[in-house]
């Protein structure tokens, strides 16, 4: 059952997004057969799928996308985090046209983001800010002598000025993004973990389902809490119930 929040957040998304599409399931499995099996198990409990590098390396990435998009009528988030010289990124983005993909991710400097935006067509480009597997110490080890929230805000501001449609951001930084940059862009939040399971894997900057939306997320990405559940469909349905209860308050 969803928790009750006595004070509505000013950052709760008001965008015209169906509540049952705000959950994006991270389809992180090694091959197409396992992916299809999991999609069949989840059924109508999930309507939006993130497909990343693990399946990309399986050799059947676009077969799966075609099946999901055109046969199963699911939305697709191609999470490939394009990071290369601008011309290569531009050419790669063009290869995603016409494949039924809604979101894709780009990770890089202004020139890389500009090259992606130039060729996006109907795609929505999401700029990666800071991976949720990194914390302040990791950022300092990489040479960034700045508070992680300031770095996320700086990267998000530049991405939006360039023309990206939104950002990938931890729920911890989402409130500052909304406060400083408004609500005219998408925030997609990974690193979603139950309150009782926040420190059990490689994700360091996590929030739970409801807090992510209260903090300003438009979508959440959930993988292991669903995939590793005894009953994945039941786990997905429980998350969908929390989302529906939260957005019924608006």
Using alpha carbons only, what angle is made at residue 145 by residues 139 and 149, rounded to the nearest 5 degrees? 65
- Rounded to 10 deg, the angle between the 232-248 and 32-42 helix axes is 50
Name the catalytic one among 14, 74, 75, 81.
81
Q: Where are the alpha helices (DSSP H) in 124-195?
A: 136-141, 148-162, 174-181
163: Cβ contacts below 8 Å, ≥ 6 apart: 114, 117, 125
How far the first Cα of the chain sits from its last, in Å, is 18
DSSP label at residue 19: G
Dihedral sign computed on CA atoms, order 105, 31, 221, 40: positive
Active site residue 81: yes
| Count of beta carbons in the 10 Å neighbourhood of residue 221 | 22
What is the bridge-based pairing of β-strands 166-168 and 23-26?
A: unpaired
State the catalytic residues: 81
């Amino acid at each position: 059952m969803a928790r009750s929040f006595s004070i509505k957040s000013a950052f709760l998304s008001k965008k015209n997004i169906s509540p049952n599409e705000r959950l994006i399931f991270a389809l992180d499995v090694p091959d197409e057969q396992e992916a299809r099996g999991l999609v069949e198990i989840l059924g109508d409990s999930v309507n939006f799928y993130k497909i990343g590098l693990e399946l990309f390396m399986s050799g059947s990435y676009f077969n799966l996308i075609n099946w999901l998009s055109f046969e199963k009528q699911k939305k697709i988030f191609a999470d490939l985090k394009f990071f290369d010289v601008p011309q290569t990124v531009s050419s790669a983005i063009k290869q995603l046209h016409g494949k039924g993909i809604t979101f894709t991710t780009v990770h890089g400097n202004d020139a890389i983001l500009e090259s992606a935006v130039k060729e996006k067509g109907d795609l929505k480009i999401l700029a990666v800010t800071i991976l949720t597997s990194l914390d302040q110490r990791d950022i300092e080890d990489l040479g960034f002598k700045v508070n992680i929230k300031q770095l996320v805000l700086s990267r998000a501001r530049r991405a939006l000025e360039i023309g990206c449609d939104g950002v990938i951001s931890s729920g911890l930084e989402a409130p500052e993004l909304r406060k400083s940059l408004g609500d005219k862009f998408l925030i997609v939040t990974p690193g979603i973990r139950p309150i009782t399971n926040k420190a059990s894997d490689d994700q360091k900057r996590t929030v739970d389902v409801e807090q992510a939306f209260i903090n300003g997320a438009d979508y959440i990405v959930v993988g292991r809490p669903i995939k590793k559940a005894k009953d994945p469909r039941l786990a997905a349905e429980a998350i969908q119930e929390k989302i529906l209860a939260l957005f019924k308050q608006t």
